[in-house]
Amino acid sequence: MKITCAVVQCRVEPDRTRQRERVRGFLEEARAAGARLVLLPELVFDPYPAQCARPEGHARAEPVPGPTTAWLGEECRRLGLTAVTSLFERRLAGLGHNTAVVLDARGRLVGRYRKMHIPDDPNFFEKYYFAPGDLGFVPIRDGDLSLGTLVCWDQWFPEAARLMTLAGADLLLYPTAIGWDPRDPQPVRRRERDAWELVQRAHAVANALPVLVANRVGHEDDPSGASAGLDFWGGSFITGVFGDMTAAAGADEETVLLATLETEATEEQRRRWPFLRDRRTDAYGALVVRALPSAEDPDGASTSLETGPSPPSSR
């Protein structure tokens, strides 16, 4: 199956009506270029809310389905394409999620994924706003395609990519909002962005799946004034099944990346390098623990039920 995909890299306008108009423009541009699947950045309709933790930051949360999925669904129906982004989902009073949504070419909300890994570090205080996802790592079906939709911080966790793979994902998609502290010097910036790119390209390699990443660009102030804000670092990209860069964006530009992916490449690559055949499912039990006792107490007993006995101290 061939699918032409687009990744939108853009700034976010604080005025929501204007931001919708801008998003519409990118969707139209993607469609005109032949895309049937469009990935937008994380929380694309709002300034990034989690630079600081304050009650006002919840103001733009809304139900899913809700006004934004209705609007986006209508655009998808009109243009005949599927769109993926994330929204600040208001589930109950004081209970929110960072929720990826998929709107299909008939305008239907065909699935949602609630961000499972929630960051919490300077300028990314998401644990205050978003409860950890409770829907597991389940791809969202769009016709014949199975979308491994994850969100931003999930991108650092090989477990998430693998679980989507084992559940049959054809693609991995990461709507993202990540950036630099403007005070960080260039070498630090470069090292961070390189690590971010590396770890996601490696999900493509380990799972023989294309990876699509859409990030924001531009500066957004910290509403609390406590920090210098965030410079979103762009660098959106689309890879093939070798983690090879099919399309990549710069650090500042608003742009629409395009790639035509063939799902047959996964079959071919997995026959060549059959990693899934060789996974040691009998010996992975400790992946569900936080840390192994032997690590916490290196001088203590290192025998673990999950991993079997420690190796003999020979000689």
- In whole angstroms, give the CA distance from residue 164 to residue 167: 5
Tokens of residue 58, six digits: 């919840």
Catalytic position from the list 115, 126, 197, 220: 115
From the CB of 126, what's the least distance to a second copy, in Å?
10
- In whole angstroms, give the CA distance from residue 209 to residue 169: 8
Tokens of residue 205, six digits: 């390699």
From the CB of 38, what's the least distance to a second copy, in Å?
19
Tell me whether residue 1 or residue 289 sits nearer to a second copy (CB atom): 289
Q: Which residue has the tokens 């957004």?
A: 220
From the CB of 135, what's the least distance to a second copy, in Å?
5
From the CB of 278, what's the least distance to a second copy, in Å?
5
Catalytic position from the list 76, 126, 152, 220: 152
From the CB of 296, what's the least distance to a second copy, in Å?
8
From the CB of 99, what's the least distance to a second copy, in Å?
10
Tell me whether residue 17 or residue 313 sits nearer to a second copy (CB atom): 313
Tell me whether residue 11 or residue 108 sits nearer to a second copy (CB atom): 108
Give the number of other Cβ atoms within 10 Å of residue 220's Cβ.
20
DSSP per-residue string spanning 164-225 = HHHTT-SEEEEE---EE-TTS-HHHHHHHHHHHHHHHHHHHHHHT--EEEE-BEEEE--TTS
From the CB of 34, what's the least distance to a second copy, in Å?
25
Q: Using an 8 Å Cβ cutoff, are 171 and 261 in contact? A: yes
Tell me whether residue 45 or residue 196 sits nearer to a second copy (CB atom): 196
- In whole angstroms, give the CA distance from residue 169 to residue 185: 38
Which residues lie below 8 Å from residue 179, measured CB to CB, with a gap of 6+? 123, 216, 220, 230, 231, 232, 233
Tokens of residue 101, six digits: 């949504």
Q: Using an 8 Å Cβ cutoff, are 9 and 254 in contact? A: yes
Catalytic position from the list 42, 89, 126, 220: 42
Tell me whether residue 16 or residue 270 sits nearer to a second copy (CB atom): 270
Tell me whether residue 49 or residue 119 sits nearer to a second copy (CB atom): 119
Tell me whether residue 22 or residue 112 sits nearer to a second copy (CB atom): 112
Active site residue 42: yes
Active site residue 115: yes
- Alpha carbon 182 to chain centroid distance? 23
Taken in order 51, 52, 53, 55, is the CA torsion positive or negative? negative
Which residues lie below 8 Å from residue 36, measured CB to CB, with a gap of 6+? 3, 4, 5, 80, 81, 82, 105
- In whole angstroms, give the CA distance from residue 6 to residue 246: 11
Please list the active-site residues: 42, 115, 152
